[in-house]
Structure 1
Amino acid sequence: MESPSSSTSSPSSTRSEQYRNWQELPRDVTASILQRLGAIEILDSAQKVCMHWRNVCKDPSMWRAIDMRNHEDLDTPFDPEKMCRHAIDRSSGQLRDITIEHFGTDDLLNHITNSSSQLRRLRLVSCYCITDEGLNEAAAKLPLLEELEISPCSFSKESLMALGRCCPLLKSFKLNQQGFRWPRIEWDEEAVAVAESMPELRHLQLFGNKLTNDGLNAILNGCPHLESLDLRQCFNVNLSGDLGKRCAERIKSLRCPNDPTDDYEFDAEIDDGGSFDEDDPSGMSDIDYLSEGYGYYEFSGESDFSYDDFTDYGDFYDFGDYYFG
């Protein structure tokens, strides 16, 4: 007959089964879990949990994709651009996909392209301090780029042409702005740049663009492989008649100017001229301010932390070794 002790699990073994040690997880499983965090959470929190996690977080394969969109939502005193540079350096040339928001500059874009010759996907969100010159210089070092998003910003026709010429593998392009009806401004320069330099495009999003039917016709002529086209809030485009029929026949997934914007990632509020400030002596609209770079703001926040306490930003994050041996 079995004794009670042999047939019943002890309380200690039961607790052991309920509370597994995270450090016992296989390395690839740990990496898969940590990769679901953003770059900021990894650098600012996850890598400090234990030495095992820290070693995983320092593996270059962890940094093939870097998402720096959420820095404003986190309570951290650190400069996002320096943090981004540190993440790029950790990739050791393996970076394939990067998203930056608000803090992008020409210098940072240059660092990305110099350090990441294999980059396939680039997203620049509200990076108003990136200039045409900076974009031109970056384009020359992105021969393998397949996906590019610039939201909600605008660049010159020449810069977009340079992107098309230097990135012959470009399959997806998003150039998004704020939609507005008044004052009515017709502007086909960007559409023509796409049509003349990006013939391999499969997916194109021009949310809030000022293109006209002429610009749309140019795109249809110049991008014969186009499968999806998003023209929401492009209020200068009229898809009635032959042009609408042509789009319906050519494009598998078509979003029209007045289609719902529920799934649009950014602010879809339409500016119908109410943003003009009559008291502003310059007579500039909100859109003018954004196009001139006034919409950019630098990271700031009150903190006792000083970057002067460390000689190198990377050294600051590597100070975790002091605690973990």
Structure 2
Amino acid sequence: MEASSSSCPSQLPPLLSSAEAEQRNWLDLPRDVVSAIFVKVGTIEVLRNARRVCSLWRNVSKDPFIWRTIDMHQLGDLTDSDDILDDMCRLAIDHSSGQLTDITIEEFATDSLLKYIADSTSQLRRLRLIRCYSVTDEGLCAIAEKLPQLEELDISISNLSKVPLETIGRSCPHLRTLKFNIEGYKSPHIECNEDAFAIAGTMPALCHLQLFGNKLTNDGLLAILDGCPNLISLDLRQCFNVSLIGNLGRRCAEQIKDLRHPYDSTADYPFEAEDDYGSFDEDYPSGISDIDILSDYEYDFYEFSGGSPSEFSDYDYYNDY
């Protein structure tokens, strides 16, 4: 009976209220667990809210582990000015204590902020700049030599020219992935191989290349294939001056494992794109048509001695541009 009475609920310690239990659970979490949660929560949320909850969380928010990756894009409904976002980004960089390896910035990056990043870390491996029109050729060139470990560079929608590409190529020997995208359009008709030649001449170790909307021609593409023999993936969507037919089409099929054609679907592309035309995927699921792999001589012979007009309607349409 005594044993029974000793286990009576009335003898147990009083239970915490739900609010007290929730507070105690959060505050009792190990520091490394809180740090891992902050990483998942993301840069903006930690800077704006989490670090203000209590002194413990504010202290944890200064852990350099949290700031090895800084992601400040897709800011949604934030109404902060560029100056405030710049200050927040610099604070995150300071907290990284030289351990920053990966940073993404949308819209508010400047030459000054890039210099601050480059001066704060020599470990940067991934730099992503989205619609950062205030970043100049001179600004990117100035920090290139300070990024010796850079492996991935993503510059999507900018005013930059071939000049920083050449400088990055010469200064960053570990660069394996390059995205240099602009908004694709078919008119006015412009041909320019400067970007392609800069890439081909300075980035022989490149494995992944995206040139969405670029104005390169077949000559530029051929230079890239010659100058970047390690390419595994190549995205040429909305590169309307490129025609993957004949020998060039066959070489692309043989050399590149993951090839996106100029007229392939842009459904998975995160930025604006012209989409008023059919996709190669619809007609040629393998990505290369029978016409593409004909030799140049065979193509001419086939077109003028037996190929029906309907079989070449897509080809004629592409060459109108």
Is the CA contact (8 Å cut-off) linking 2:173 and 2:205 kept in structure 1?
A: yes
When the two chains are superposed, the root-mean-square deviation of aligned CA atoms in Å is: 2.4
2:150 alignment counterpart:
145
Instruction: Give 5+ residue unaligned stretches, structure 2.
Output: 278-321
Q: State the secondary structure of the residue aligned to 1:79.
A: helix
Distance 1:142 1:43, change over 3 A: same
Quote the offset at 1:56 in angstroms.
1.1
Aligned partner letter, 2:165: L
1:279 alignment counterpart:
none
Deviations 1:224-269 (A, max 9, x none): 1100111111111111222111111111111111111121122224
1:68 alignment counterpart:
72
Distance 1:17 1:58, change over 3 A: closer
Q: Which has the higher contact order (CA 8 A, sep 6+)?
A: 1
Partner Cα separation in structure 2 for residue 17 and residue 81 of structure 1: 38
Aligned partner letter, 2:253: A
Please show how residues 15-164 of structure 1 align to structure 2 within 5 Å: 15=18, 19=22, 21-76=25-80, 79-164=84-169
Distance 1:223 1:259, change over 3 A: same
Is the CA contact (8 Å cut-off) linking 2:93 and 2:120 kept in structure 1?
A: yes
The worse-fitting range, judged by mean Cα deviation, of 71-80 and 7-16 is 7-16
Q: State the secondary structure of the residue aligned to 1:73.
A: coil
1:182 alignment counterpart:
187
Task: Select 1:211's aligned residue among 213, 216, 235.
Answer: 216
Equivalent residue pairs, number: 272
Task: Select 1:225's aligned residue among 217, 227, 230.
Answer: 230
2:315 alignment counterpart:
none
Is the CA contact (8 Å cut-off) linking 2:131 and 2:158 kept in structure 1?
A: yes
1:6 alignment counterpart:
8
Between structure 1 and structure 2, the one with the greater Rg is 2
Is the CA contact (8 Å cut-off) linking 1:169 and 1:200 kept in structure 2?
A: yes
Is the CA contact (8 Å cut-off) linking 2:136 and 2:159 kept in structure 1?
A: no
Partner Cα separation in structure 1 for residue 105 and residue 34 of structure 2: 25
Is the CA contact (8 Å cut-off) linking 1:179 and 1:271 kept in structure 2?
A: no
Instruction: Give 5+ residue unaligned stretches, structure 1.
Output: 273-325
Is the CA contact (8 Å cut-off) linking 2:147 and 2:171 kept in structure 1?
A: yes
Please show how residues 278-293 of structure 1 align to structure 2 within 5 Å: none
Tell me the TM-score normalized by structure 1.
0.78
Is the CA contact (8 Å cut-off) linking 2:105 and 2:128 kept in structure 1?
A: yes
Distance 1:271 1:215, change over 3 A: farther
Is the CA contact (8 Å cut-off) linking 1:181 and 1:271 kept in structure 2?
A: no
Partner Cα separation in structure 1 for residue 238 and residue 65 of structure 2: 39
Distance 1:154 1:56, change over 3 A: same
2:318 alignment counterpart:
none
Quote the offset at 1:155 in angstroms.
2.1
